[in-house]
Structure 1
Amino acid sequence: MKYRHIFFDLDHTLWDFEANADETLRHLFAEHNIGRHGVSVDKFIAVYSEVNHGLWRLYQSNKINQQQLRTVRFPRTFMQLGLREEDSPAGISEQFTDILPRKSAVFPYTYEVLDYLRDKGYQLHLITNGFRDIQHVKLASSRLTDYFQEMVTSECCGHLKPDTRIFQHALERTGATAPESLMIGDNLECDVLGAYNAGLDQVYFNPDKRRHFNQITYEISCLSELKEIL
């Protein structure tokens, strides 16, 4: 067995962030009657997603903090929609943060592959830039908690992927070495390049089959393909 420790990203790799966010945003759109502003729910979701992704890039570059990300994203969404900042309903960010992690959608074959890996004797862990309190709720809601021995978050070690220090912290915490470890994630920079720079082999999870020119140890478009590698 070449690898003993398998490190997964959580959001966009196992836990289907886009599907769960879509369901949450539709709920909030209806509850707050946001359509009265002449905005469609699909437009609302599209603009929110664009704003949120941009803010996460700033967060991962240490240009904003967690509180700023949570506070800014909805008012900025409303402004991008051509509305006023004060049109953003009071408490909507807190509602989103409370409701979203309780959603349970995961990518196809998630449970089958995790069962397979666990039965084969691999030690499974998570490395995530997500917020620790939120990630624990996501794991519980989607019945993923029991699969993982350790969850390493950027909050617990003070460094965000792709910083090699979060990967080094994960290796130390799990008692693993880089040659016996494999990182699986959907983000070329954070997961793949970060793991590469830390000396770990990588699996790029690319369900949309985005074109790129990076050299990667393995690439898959469906989690079921992990059975061909491990």
Structure 2
Amino acid sequence: MKAVVFDLDNTLFDHSGSAERALREWVAGLGIMPTDEVVAEWFAIEERVYDAYLRRELTHQGQRRARLREFLPVLGREVPAAEAELDVVFEGYLKQYRGSWVAFPDARPALEVARGNGWRIGVLTNGNTTQQNAKLEAIGLAEYVDVVCASESLGVSKPDPLAYQRVCEELGVAPADALMIGDNLELDVLAARAAGMTARHLDRSTGHGLLDLL
């Protein structure tokens, strides 16, 4: 093995935890009780709308607006007609989200092990290039990563085989010499294997973490 490629959200970076904390603070700030049902609806909308963004049906800002158009009625709030007003509303959530960014406790140790093994380290993520790089900087992991490939800059998203091939090219290794680790079985494991990489599934519900997969 010459390189290891990590997924970012819910692998190195605790997106679900960060987003839930942010959502509860934001909704409470609007004077509304952030119930578990409200939180579940937010994540359901996020997944549905973000998939449309990855299919290039929406811009990154457009998917944020689409989320609010679906979510504000859940809160009993009127949806602003102007896009600029929607952007202002979303910024309230985004401020809380950025302030909640955190790495999983085993993320830095895993990157240190990979570096100690002499491996090149990459991140392959479906997302906005600027935001994904900002996450790595904010959670203190950017210095360990040699290559960050985000779907926005790649022009393709996981599970497109080109995504895995491109990150390997950027790392200067053949797919057969690279290990992919991520929390999504389809995107980070099955599709990576189909592209010629070794891949291991991170399932934190089993009590295992990143260090168990290296």
Decide: shared fold, TM above 0.5.
yes
Determine which of 52, 56, 73 is the counterpart of 1:58: 52
Correspondence list, 1:156-171, <5 A: 156-171=153-168
Q: Which of 105-114 and 180-189 deviates more? A: 105-114
TM-score, L = length of structure 1? 0.82
Distance 1:46 1:140 in 2: 28
Correspondence list, 1:128-167, <5 A: 128-167=125-164
Structure 1 gap segments, 5+ residues each: 210-219
Q: Tell me the CA shift for residue 80 of structure 1.
A: 3.8
Determine which of 14, 19, 22 is the counterpart of 2:20: 22
Determine which of 197, 205, 208 is the counterpart of 1:221: 208
1:184 aligns with 2:207: no
Determine which of 103, 106, 114 is the counterpart of 1:106: 103
* Cα pair 1:101 1:134 within 8 Å, conserved: no
3-state secondary structure, aligned to 2:201:
strand
Specify the alignment match of 1:4 in structure 2. Answer: 2
* Cα pair 2:120 2:171 within 8 Å, conserved: no
Q: Tell me the CA shift for residue 221 of structure 1.
A: 3.1
3-state secondary structure, aligned to 1:105:
coil
3-state secondary structure, aligned to 2:121:
strand
Deviations 1:9-46 (A, max 9, x none): 000101000111112112212333234xxxx4433322
* Cα pair 2:25 2:96 within 8 Å, conserved: no
CA RMSD in angstroms comes to: 2.3
Distance 1:198 1:84 in 2: 46
TM-score, L = length of structure 2? 0.88
In structure 2, the CA distance between the partners of 1:83 and 1:92, relative to structure 1 (3 Å rule), is: closer
Distance 2:67 2:164 in 1: 29
Deviations 1:127-174 (A, max 9, x none): 011211111111111101011000011112200010011111112222
Structure 2 gap segments, 5+ residues each: none
* Cα pair 1:108 1:222 within 8 Å, conserved: no
* Cα pair 2:14 2:104 within 8 Å, conserved: yes
* Cα pair 1:9 1:184 within 8 Å, conserved: yes
Distance 1:102 1:193 in 2: 33
Distance 1:104 1:68 in 2: 22
3-state secondary structure, aligned to 2:148:
strand
Q: Which amino acid aligns with 2:16?
A: E
Q: Tell me the CA shift for residue 83 of structure 1.
A: 4.9
* Cα pair 1:154 1:161 within 8 Å, conserved: yes
Q: Tell me the CA shift for residue 70 of structure 1.
A: 1.1
3-state secondary structure, aligned to 1:173:
helix
Aligned length: 211
1:94 aligns with 2:91: yes
Q: Which amino acid aligns with 2:53?
A: Y
Deviations 1:99-133 (A, max 9, x none): 42443322232222211221121111100112111
